[in-house]
Amino acid sequence: MSGRTAAGFAIALAVVVGSAPVAAAQDAPDPAEVAAGWLARQLVDGDHMTTEFDGTAYPDHGLTADVVLALDAAGVAQESAAAATAWLAANTTAYLGDGTTSAYAGAHAKLALVAQAQGEDPTDFGGVDLIARLTSLQAESGRFSDKSEYGDYSNGITQSLAVLALTRDGGAPDKAVDYLLSAACPDGGFPLLLEQTTCVSDVDTTGYAVQALVAAGEDATKALDWLEGKQQADGGFGGSDPTPGVNANSTGLAATALAVGDRDPSAAIAYLLKRQVDCGGATATRGAIAYDTAGFDAATAARATTQAIPGLTGVSLADVTNDGAAPTAPTLTCTAPPVTTTTTTTAPVTTTTSAATPVDNSDDLARTGADPAPTAALGALLVLAGAALVFATRRRPAQ
């Protein structure tokens, strides 16, 4: 079991109990490690992730980077992490921009974090000096902005990622940290969209901002207070439009921030564990973390799992590393339930039936068929963001 998961949070995978026998886990390994194992197996050709839109699968650099960081946070599957890192290094231009007419701040920051976590040189990653390019994208105000003919897709997550990457490289510029601090809304949370007339706090952005502020040695008390105030009765957190419902992505980011900020993430972790597919699910899906209570959906599970793993481990982007990580990851091995046969004899009974009453299986981990709305929203945003891939979670796969 990975030492990266605090002992208090090392909760074994629950067995779904229903009317029919369900296979039981054999010596269930750490939930984060099992999730990482499932995630590693989703890499196309063993080295990158894709996002499908309108029937076509496109390489997803941002999600691939998130997978590497999640595997590092779990402390396993380094053979897969190394392959994905090599793929990212060999395909930088499509994600970063050419560095002259186009350059995306969030992409540079995220790849710098991948390089740092993987023990690579962020000043020479795929032949690109990520640190120098990122620094060049900082405006006089301290904000990191994109350079592109398609527009500026930078946002609150971009700023947080940049502060994190530069802090790891020796220290973020004071102006960059001050700009992030100044972006906070009056209620203490942080907005996705910067410099708007109305400041709207966002759980996902605040999750990243807390990590950045703590890494930079700044006080994140108000942001953490706001975040705790957004936690729902079931322990989960919701996002913003177009996915405001409680979900694993937002909950994972919030759980990480709570742990980093010395607040209690246990309820958020419990929510995430309830979303994890266990022995009640199909073999190929075991270990994955579903987006929400609707259950496993291949269209959303990969992104949900990448955000949930750091939440389970409490590992900040400021500290995530592959040091001491295992080359492979465990799988959830389940034993088949014993088969028993009983014979009963009853007298014929005549009954009158009406329409069946639906059974509420909303919390069954193996259920499939999630609402396709988040997937449609993701596709639309990918088109709008183009090469920038502006958002960092399932609805913002960019950065």
3-class SS letters over 54-120: CCEEEECHHHHHHHHHHHHHHCCCHHHHHHHHHHHHHCCHHHHCCCCCCECHHHHHHHHHHHHHCCC
pTM here? 0.81
Element (H, E) at 238: strand 237-238
Domains by residue range for the chain, with CATH? 7-337+365-388 (1.50.10.20)
Residue 34 structure tokens: 């099992």
pLDDT of 20 over the 60 cut: no
The Cα 137–Cα 84 span in angstroms is 26
Strand partners, 50: 59
Select the more confidently predicted residue: 146 or 351.
Answer: 146
Which SS3 state, helix, strand or coil, does residue 20 take? coil
Query: Which is it for the CA torsion 246, 247, 248, 251, positive or negative?
Result: negative
Strand partners, 53: 56
Residue 164 structure tokens: 């994190």
pLDDT of 354 over the 50 cut: no
Which SS3 state, helix, strand or coil, does residue 9 take? helix
Q: Model confidence over 182-240: pLDDT tens digits?
A: 999 999 999 999 999 999 999 999 999 999 999 999 999 999 999 999 999 999 999 88
Among 14-18, 28-32, 147-151, 384-388, the range with the most confident prediction by mean pLDDT is 147-151
pLDDT of 347 over the 90 cut: no
Mean pLDDT value across the chain: 84
> Percent of the chain scored above 90 by pLDDT?
73
Confidence of residue 395 (pLDDT cuts 50, 70, 90): very low
